[in-house]
Amino acid sequence: MEERINIIVSGVGGQGNVLASQMMALAGVAAGYGAVEAETFGASQRGGSVMSHVRLYKNNSPGPLIPEGKADVILGFEPMETLRILARYGNPNTKVVVNTRPVYPIGVLAGEQVYPDMTKILESIKQHVAQTYTLNATEIALEAGNPVVANMVMVGAVCGTGVIPIKEEHFLLAMKDYFTDKILDINEKAFRLGMDYITDTITV
Amino acid sequence: MSIANVKLEAPGKKVMLTGNEAVARGAIEAGMKYAASYPGSPTSEVLQILASATSQFGLYAEWSSNEKVASEAAAAASFAGVRSLTILKPDGMNVALDFLTSLAYSGVNAGMVIMVGDDPSAHSSIKEEDSRHLSKLSRLPILEPVNSQEAKDLTTKAFELSEALKLPVVVRLVTRVCHATSLVSLGDTEHIKEPVKAAYTEPILCFPQAHPELEQKIRKIAQWASEQHMWEYLGPKDASSLVIASGPCTLYAKEALEVLGLHNEVAVLSLKMTWPLPEDDLVNLLKDKKEIIFAEEIDPFIEENITSFAAYHAEDLGVFKFYGKRNGYIKSPLGAGIGELNTDIMIDSLAEIKGLGRPDFCGRTANCLGSVGGSLPERDRAFCPGCPHRASYWALKSALALEGNDGFVLGDIGCYAMGRGRTGYYTVKSVHSMGSGIGIAHGFGTLQKFDFTQPIIAVVGDSTFYHAVIPALVNAKHNNGKFLCVILDNSTTAMTGHQPHPGSSLDARGIEVPALNMEEIISGLDINVVVTDPYDINTTRDMVLELLPQPGPKVLILRRECSLVVSKKEKPRRVSVDQEKCVGKDCGCNNLCSRAFGCPANIIDLETGKGRIDEALCVGCGVCASLCPAGAITVEEGV
């Protein structure tokens, strides 16, 4: 068991990344870690950049915010936001799982800002960190039946990569605790699709 | 994180709770039976949780029409012998302040706790206000928890203290405690199931003669803080340097000291009660210290109280070297006292104070932006897809442009405050407090004597209407202020997470209640009131033009349910762009839908230059279809 694991979930308001970070924390607790999870919500729901911090620990509970350069894992729901977080919180040992589907800021849609070249974003991420896993979580979520469960596809993908020492069974336990029966199925399905996709990628 | 965990009857079980949930749980465990609040981030969830637990724990919970009424209602419960809680953010505490300053004088009976959620960095506020000044001004003691466990424990303690001293007690959280989740050990809820009998017993008066007794109480509380050890000393006893911290800053300071390798030479004093100070203990705690460093959010509040305390005890304590916000040692990149603290800020500050270099995080990946030009476009906040406010501002802006006499729009806080930015076409020109746009509009609207001729519009939300607008309209009617009040009625308190208000047909507990009718209230003031659908931009624009020249105040209600609520319950209509009809870049509109309308669902196909709809985001409002000059956007019903 590691002393401390720092995970950042980044994305855009409305992508369900807060729920994903809560799931990481709950799965961590199910696996026997202590956990602190911090997020901002309220105004940031309205299309702004959103990040939450999850800190798993063995003994001493740390504060809610991860210091710069200290992210062990970045779970990126949006490519540009992932790079933004990497610049501030990453280090050469960081592991990144990133959803490749862009969400354009309204300034980009209005033609006033330019969204960086996608290939360059992904290349830069790969260049600067230890491991990078990419997937189109939104597309995989459609396979599960609804684009809103892309967040659980991402959580499944993290589990599949093995970048954090939390097993599938712990995630399933956390999900069972958290979701009502009505929506548990689709979330579990999304989780498995994400996990399988990554496992297949790694095997290939 | 999970309301179910707050309600668990499993003493000793450890569960993940947010600070907000932990306060709710602490109140329940303390036998609190009456809660009243008005929604405000970062504390909105507390009353929501309590309202959902009313039958299980025999509670009463209400969303009041504003914070002053909420505090008064909670105080009444306390007067009647029922432990009570009111939940505020600093803006709400301002509203309640007139009552709270009097309440300290009259005192309370059963324990009454005021939870305040300060918002350093103003994540979901329009200003950074430190409520501790207001609590001190009101002569109310302040407890500050570090994390969720302490939020629960200190809430329970606050009820005991309040009841013992007959004075309300403030529990002050910051956003990073309210919205952070950590493990909490649950207490017993069996003992609180006894029925409570409420009764009025004696007069409850505020009068100046109560002042000496109040000051006596404050001195007793300072002693109590010492007796109860409302502080925690961490690190070496003989350290000559001490960080005095409150709330999560305790954890930031601890981690920063570890990172810098200073944890064996610098100690941390975490204050749980930050006003009044535990003065008896402080004399001992500060003895032999040479350097004192302050770590707190937002203002140098502890810093000012401790430095003043130290000055009075200089004979015993000697002279300290202080490092805080006042002399600029503890500061965020924006300056001292601006923005929340974190471990990085504490690392930088402590490194500077101790003459160390900042540890080399050259492992950092800061240069990963090099290949994309060194920086990334920021994300402007935007109204949600289908938000009626976007359509409303389009109509208001169009109407004022057509009217042609430099008309302008005043506003206030809520989702629609974003009308001051891109997503609302920079329409809103003033934002202050709840309903203040109406008072300001009235002021402008009575300047005719001074050759003022510009048309005035003030926007408010529906929840705001009940909170603060009615008295302003009464004033405008009486004094004949000429302006148009536009109520952006989305049938909910949207910004804070969709709480009901007096115009709703369900109360906080989900029980059916008669909904107030705002048209009748306004008509009752003999003010002309018209209702239109903001999605119908042309009708709305024409109605604004018709109402503006009329004398005195008048009201236009733009009524459409919040699209976030609608998107959860209705299958949306399908909106699409006919790729043959859309002329794209060559159209005179120059991609009006994606460029100007500003809905995140109106995207542009970068290859063809033509408009498209992002179906994952679109909720099917169809407003963009009514704007497209080529008629290329189609709306398919009942998909």
Is the ipTM of this structure higher than 0.85?
yes
* Residues from chain B contacting residue A147 (CB–CB below 8 Å): 616
Do A65 and B176 count as a contact with CB atoms less than 8 A apart? yes
The pLDDT value given to residue B206: 94
Cβ burial B55-82 (10 Å sphere, 16+ → b, else e): eebebbbbbbbbbbbbbbbbbbbbbbeb
Higher pLDDT, A80 or A42: A80
Q: Name, in order, each residue with C-beta under 8 angstroms of B584's C-beta and a sequence gap of 6 or more.
A: B591, B608, B609, B610, B611
In B452-596, beta strands by DSSP E: 456-461, 483-489, 528-532, 553-559, 574-577
pLDDT, average across residues B211-226: 96
Whether pLDDT at A204 is above 60: no
pLDDT of residue A203: 67
Give the pairing type, strands B611-613 and B602-604.
antiparallel
Q: Is the pLDDT of residue A114 over 70?
A: yes
Please name which of A71, A51, A68 lies closest in space to residue A164, comparing C-alpha atoms.
A71
B287: left (phi over 0), alpha (psi -120 to 50) or beta: beta
Q: Which residues contact B124 (CB under 8 A, 6 or more apart)?
A: A40, A41, A42, A43, A44, B41, B42, B175, B495
- Residue B590: which region, alpha, beta or left (left: phi > 0; alpha: psi -120 to 50)? left
Mean pLDDT score, B460-485: 98
| pLDDT band for position B448 (cuts 50, 70, 90) | very high
> In 10 A of CB A47, how many CB atoms?
24
Mean pLDDT value across chain B: 95
| The domain over range B388-567 is classified in CATH as 3.10.620.30 | no
Q: According to the model, what pLDDT value does residue B584 have?
A: 87
Confidence at B363, pLDDT banded by 50, 70, 90: low
Q: What angle do CA B171, B294, B141 make, to 5 degrees?
A: 25
pLDDT in tens, B46-60: 999 999 999 999 999
Question: Mean of the pLDDT values across residues A64-75?
Answer: 95
For B201, the token pair is 């017993």
Q: Do A35 and B147 touch (CB under 8 A)?
A: no
pLDDT of amino acid A104: 87
pLDDT tier at B113 (50, 70, 90 boundaries)?
very high
CATH dotted code for A4-137+170-178? 3.40.920.10
Omega of the bond leading into B276 within 30 degrees of 0 (cis): yes
Cα separation, B44 vs B17, whole angstroms? 15
Strand, helix or coil for residue B541: helix
CB proximity under 8 Å: B 115-144 to A: 123-124
On whether the CB atoms of residues A37 and A169 are closer than 8 A, the answer is: no
A8 vs B615: which has the higher pLDDT: A8
How many angstroms separate the CA atoms of A143 and A200, rounded?
16
Which residues of chain A does B498 touch, with a Cβ-Cβ cutoff of 8 Å? Answer: none
Q: Is the pLDDT of residue B132 over 90?
A: yes
User: H helices of B404-459, where?
Assistant: 436-444
What pLDDT does B183 receive? 97
The per-residue pLDDT for B571 is 61
Q: Is the pLDDT of residue A132 over 60?
A: yes
pLDDT of residue A148: 87
Mean pLDDT of all residues in B90-108: 98
Class assignment of domain B571-636?
A: alpha beta
- Other C-beta atoms within 10 Å of A133: how many? 18
The amino acid at B282: L
From A39, A67, A120, residue closest to B255, measured CB to CB: A67
Q: Is the pLDDT of residue B65 over 70?
A: yes
pLDDT value at B616 more than 80? no
Say yes or no: do domains B3-224 and B231-353 share a fold. yes
Q: Can you give the three-state secondary structure of chain A, one letter per residue?
A: CCCEEEEEEEEECCCCHHHHHHHHHHHHHHCCCEEEEECCCCHHHCCCEEEEEEEEECCCCCCCCCCCCCCCEEEECCHHHHHHHHHHHCCCCCEEEEECCCCCCHHHHCCCCCCCCHHHHHHHHHHHCCEEEEECHHHHHHHHCCHHHHHHHHHHHHHHHCCCCCCHHHHHHHHHHHCCHHHHHHHHHHHHHHHHHHHHHHHC
pLDDT in tens, B561-595: 999 888 877 667 899 999 999 998 888 898 899 88
Task: Tell me the C-alpha to C-alpha distance, in Å, between residue A189 and each of A27, A129, B135, B392.
Answer: 17, 30, 50, 40
* Domain range annotation of chain B: 3-224, 231-353, 388-567, 571-636
Reported as a pLDDT band with limits 50, 70 and 90, residue A40 is low
Distance CA B496, CA B88 (A): 12
* Strand pairing category for B291-295 and B321-323: parallel
Asked if the C-beta of B493 comes within 8 angstroms of chain A's C-beta atoms, the answer is no
pLDDT band with cut points at 50, 70 and 90 for residue B364:
low
Distance between CA atoms of B422 and B626, rounded to whole angstroms?
20
Cα–Cα distance measured from residue A44 to residue B376, given in angstroms and rounded to the nearest whole number: 18
Other Cβ atoms less than 10 A from the Cβ of A36: the count is: 26
Which one-letter amino acid corresponds to residue B365? T
pLDDT cut 90: percent of chain B above it: 86
Tell me the nearest-neighbour CA distance from B466 into chain A, angstroms: 21
Pairing state of beta strands B273-275 and B142-143? antiparallel
In whole angstroms, give the CA distance from residue B536 to residue B544: 12
Confidence check: pLDDT of A43 > 60 = no
8 Å CB contact between B23 and B155: yes
- Local confidence band at A46 (pLDDT 50, 70, 90 cut-offs): low
The answer to whether A62 contacts B251, with C-beta atoms less than 8 Å apart, is yes
Single-letter amino acid, residue B258: E
- Give the separation between CA B505 and CA B494, rounded to whole angstroms: 16
* B499 and A CB contact within 8 Å: no
Burial class (CB in 10 A: 0-12, 13-18, 19+), B342: buried
- Across the beta sheet with A131-135, the strand order is A131-135, A95-99, A73-76, A4-12, A49-57, A34-38, B180-185, B14-18
- Reference B87, options B109, B62, B105, B108; nearest CA is B62
Query: What is the average per-residue pLDDT within B216-226?
Result: 96
Dist CA B120 CA B174 (whole Å): 7
- Provide the terminal-to-terminal Cα distance of chain B, rounded to the nearest Å: 35
DSSP string, B213-272: HHHHHHHHHHHHHHHTT-EEEES-TT-SEEEEE-TTHHHHHHHHHHHHT-TTTEEEEEES
CA B369 to chain CA mean position, Å: 34
Report which of residues A86 and B566 the model is more confident about.
A86
pLDDT grade for A42, boundaries at 50, 70 and 90: very low
* Contact by Cβ (8 Å): B494, B461: yes
Q: Does the domain at residues B231-353 carry the CATH identifier 3.40.50.300?
A: no
CB–CB of A113 and B251 under 8 A? no
Give the three-class secondary structure for B86: strand
Q: Which amino acid is at B122?
A: A
Which has the minimum average pLDDT: A10-24, B261-275, B406-420? A10-24
pLDDT for residue B159: 98
Q: Is B209 on the interface with A (CB under 8 A)?
A: no
Residue B361 is nearest to which of A12, A68, A110, comparing CB atoms? Answer: A68
Structure tokens at B106: 């009259």
When comparing pLDDT for B26 and A44, which is higher? Answer: B26
**Residue entry with tokens 């949207």:** B494
- Judge contact between B258 and A3, C-beta under 8 A: no
What percent of chain A is predicted at pLDDT more than 90?
77
A49 interface with B at CB cutoff 8 Å: yes
Lowest mean pLDDT among A39-53, B438-452, B509-523: A39-53
Q: Is the pLDDT of residue B637 over 80?
A: yes
Q: What are phi and psi of B289, to 5 degrees?
A: -85, 150
CB count in 10 Å sphere of residue A122: 18
- Low-confidence winner among A77-81, B32-36, B616-620 (lowest mean pLDDT): B616-620
- Asked if B616 lies within 8 A of A86 by C-beta distance, the reply is no
Element housing B172 (H / E): strand B169-174
* Shortest CA gap B293–chain A (Å): 19
Q: Which of residues 55-94 of A touch B (CB under 8 A)?
A: 61-70, 80, 83-84, 86-88, 90-94
Residue B367, CB-side half-sphere exposure with 13 Å CA sphere: 6
- What tens digit of pLDDT does each residue of B542-556 get? 999 999 999 999 999
Inter-chain residue contact B379 with A114, CB threshold 8 Å: no
Could you tell me if B71 and B114 are in contact, meaning their C-beta atoms sit under 8 angstroms apart?
yes
Within B263-312, strands assigned E span: 266-271, 273-275, 291-295
Is pLDDT of B205 > 60?
Answer: yes
What average pLDDT does range B473-482 have in this prediction? 98
Q: How does residue A197 score in pLDDT terms, banded at 50, 70 and 90?
A: very high
Mutate to test the interface with A, among B379, B577, B592 (most CBs of A within 10 A): B379
Contact B371 A120 (CB under 8 A): yes
pLDDT at A62 over 90: yes
Residue count of chain B, please give it.
639
What is the pLDDT, as a whole number, of residue A201?
Answer: 85
Contact B529, B381 (CB under 8 A): no
CATH fold of B3-224: Rossmann fold (3.40.50)
Q: Report DSSP state, residue B573.
A: P
Residues making up chain A, counted from first to last: 204
Q: Where are the domains of chain A?
A: 4-137+170-178
> Can you tell me the distance from the alpha carbon of B609 to that of A144, in angstroms, rounded to the nearest whole number?
32
For residue range A137-164, what is the model confidence (pLDDT) as tens digits?
Answer: 999 999 998 888 999 999 999 999 999 9
pLDDT at B3 over 90: no
Predicted confidence at residue B569, as pLDDT, reads: 73
Beta-carbon separation of B380 and A35 below 8 A: no
Check CB contact under 8 Å for A93 and B382: no
Phi, psi of B516 (to 5 degrees): -70, 150
pLDDT given at position B39:
97
Q: Minimal CA–CA distance to B54: which of B37, B33, B23, B75?
A: B33
